[in-house]
Amino acid sequence: MRNPTRREFLKSSARLTTATALFAAPAIAQRQAGANDRVRVAVCGVEGRGWSHIQALHELKNENVDLVALCDCHAGFLEEAAKRYEQLSGKKVALFEDMRKMFEDKTIDGVTFATPNHWHVLGTIWACQAGKDVYVEKPGSQNIAEGRKMVEAARKYKRIVQHGTQCRSSENIREGIAKLKEGVIGRLYMARVVNYKLHPKPLGRHMPAPVPKELNWDLWVGPGPMIPFSEFHWQRYNWRWDFGVGDTGNQGVHQLDIVRWALGLDTHPTKIQSMGGNLFHLDDDAECPCTQVAAFTFGDRKVLVTCETRDGYTNSEAGFREQYPFVQPQFPVGTIFFGAEGYMIFPDYSSYYTFVGPKYKPGPSKSLEGNPIMDTDHFRNWVKAVRSRNPADLNAEITEGHYSSALCHLANIAYRTGRTVVFDPQTERFPNDDEANSMLGRRNKRKPYMVPDEV
């Protein structure tokens, strides 16, 4: 059965609220979720990670959590997700093409965002302005300047904003971090992120084509620059600077977040280097490097952080893949901490292993069968904070998301400038470096999808 055209779907679904007019963000909603209230949630962006959000929220159905609305600018995806959720839960939900119209519903307490990266910040700001609490996928931002605005919006509107680095809600990961801080491998002097994900074929070319009838292209582009539609821009957005951050930001942000957490790095790095390129495939239109090595230092802290992303055929490292499989077992992905008395690895979202001394004697470890990615626990933590109204209850409050996402952006800026860059954590600027500073924000802005200077 074919998908309906966008026009057919808008006409046929009485439950779909359209929004073709442009309007300002609505006023703050008055409804607040109390400790025993049913929390009503909407999911924005229903493909990919969006369906993971839907499933996780469904698993909380017996904990007074209701999924009440879905939003997507692709009518076919939206209808299919609504059908799948109805089959899963027996419930129908409200459907929206434009998130701004959804924000007008004052009975909705929270919104989760699984949109493309370039929509994370503006969607979060609009939701905060509308009085909604937010769960936003990683990376929280597409650039550093907008990431700071997301934090400001959470503070100004007193919203509960969780960043989607769900390792922070794994009891096993939390135990491993605690043991690192207790000194199980001695003084930590280095941390290494390994992010090897095979892309066996080139990512593709930009070939302009007619916009699918089911897709509102203007809404999809949103805060990005208006460009001709192509399958490459739509499906491979993460590999273009105006829309994505490459795989260092897509996957590496999880592992870099663990690094910051374990090392107590509550600020930005001061010196960043990065090199690489599209070295495995030489014939696609990806702008972001598919092979990238980045290094960070933090003022006078005696620690080095490195992150390596690779898209070609690769060996394993530290047992990742063969001995300690990732969620996707063909990919060696994980974090390694080096100490004066041993090393510890985090090979997935829910386990850790310790090796002590010159003979690498096994030390403390903990794992869960199946390497779960901890989505439901992370959403449960968010809902707890929505009820308590205390951001300190969040395992991954948006400030943490901003700092971890910024590591990826800083690596990309160093790569794009082709040199070592020096960063001021206080001003979030590169002193006396106009070229690097020009990459802190969005290159092109267009109304009405502009992140405001004053949130």
Query: Which residue type sits at 120?
Result: H
Residue 293: burial class (beta carbons within 10 Å; 0-12, 13-18, 19+) = middle
Query: Residue 135's beta-bridge partner residues?
Result: 112, 162
Distances in Å between the Cα of 259 and the Cα atoms of 63, 115, 159, 384 are: 32, 26, 26, 25
Cβ contact 128:153 at 8 Å: yes
Same domain, residue pair 181 and 66: no
Residue 386: burial class (beta carbons within 10 Å; 0-12, 13-18, 19+) = buried
Residue 263: per-residue pLDDT: 98
Residue 235: burial class (beta carbons within 10 Å; 0-12, 13-18, 19+) = exposed
Distances in Å between the Cα of 63 and the Cα atoms of 56, 83, 400 are: 12, 23, 27
Same domain, residue pair 57 and 128: yes
Tokens of 215: 């897709």
Same domain, residue pair 314 and 299: yes
Same domain, residue pair 354 and 209: yes
- CA atoms of 176 and 164, how far apart (whole Å): 20
Tokens of 25: 């963000």
Q: What is the pTM of this model?
A: 0.93
List, as one string, the DSSP characters of 235-273.
Answer: HSGGGSTTT--HHHHHTHHHHHHHHHHHHT--S--SEEE
Tokens of 285: 């239109």
Which of 99, 133, 167 is the last residue before a domain boundary?
167
Query: Residue 44's beta-bridge partner residues?
Result: 71, 113
> Taking Cα atoms as reference points, which of 213, 209, 189, 245 lies closest to residue 410?
245
CA terminus-to-terminus distance, the chain: 44
The enclosing domain of 188 has a CATH number of: 3.30.360.10
- CA atoms of 184 and 355, how far apart (whole Å): 9
Per-residue pLDDT of the chain (455 residues; tens, 9 = 90+): 334 444 444 444 434 443 322 233 333 334 454 556 899 999 999 999 999 999 999 999 999 999 999 999 999 999 999 999 999 999 999 999 999 999 999 999 999 999 999 999 999 999 999 999 999 999 999 999 999 999 999 999 999 999 999 999 999 999 999 999 999 999 999 999 999 999 999 999 999 999 999 999 999 999 999 999 999 999 999 999 999 999 999 999 999 999 999 999 999 999 999 999 999 999 999 999 999 999 999 999 999 999 999 999 999 999 999 999 999 999 999 999 999 999 999 999 999 999 999 999 999 999 999 999 999 999 999 999 999 999 999 999 999 999 999 999 999 999 999 999 999 999 999 999 999 999 999 988 899 999 999 99
Which of 104, 132, 167 is the last residue before a domain boundary?
167
Owning domain of residue 15: 6-167
Same domain, residue pair 268 and 406: yes
Count Cβ atoms below 10 Å from residue 176 Cβ, excluding itself.
Answer: 27
Phi first, then psi: give them for residue 320, nearest 5 degrees: -60, 135
Cβ contact 402:151 at 8 Å: yes
Residue 32: per-residue pLDDT: 54
- CA atoms of 266 and 269, how far apart (whole Å): 10
Distances in Å between the Cα of 169 and the Cα atoms of 65, 114, 205, 394, 404 are: 18, 18, 38, 9, 16
Q: Is 335 contained in some domain?
A: yes
Tokens of 218: 């203007």
Same domain, residue pair 208 and 98: no
Which of 151, 167, 183 is the last residue before a domain boundary?
167
Same domain, residue pair 154 and 194: no
Quick one: how many helices (H) and strands (E) in the chain?
Answer: 14, 16
Same domain, residue pair 328 and 407: yes
- CA atoms of 387 and 38, how far apart (whole Å): 9
Taking the CA atoms of residue 127, residue 131, residue 137 and residue 138 in that order, the dihedral angle to the nearest 10 degrees is 90
Same domain, residue pair 207 and 278: yes
The enclosing domain of 105 has a CATH number of: 3.40.50.720
Number of domains, the chain: 2
Q: Is 455 contained in some domain?
A: no
Same domain, residue pair 54 and 158: yes
DSSP conformational letter for 154: H
Q: Is 267 contained in some domain?
A: yes
Same domain, residue pair 162 and 212: no
Same domain, residue pair 230 and 286: yes
Give the Cα-Cα-Cα angle 46, 52, 56 (nearest 5 degrees).
Answer: 120
Q: Is 453 contained in some domain?
A: no
CA 246 to chain centre: 12
Structural element, H or E, at residue 86: helix 75-89
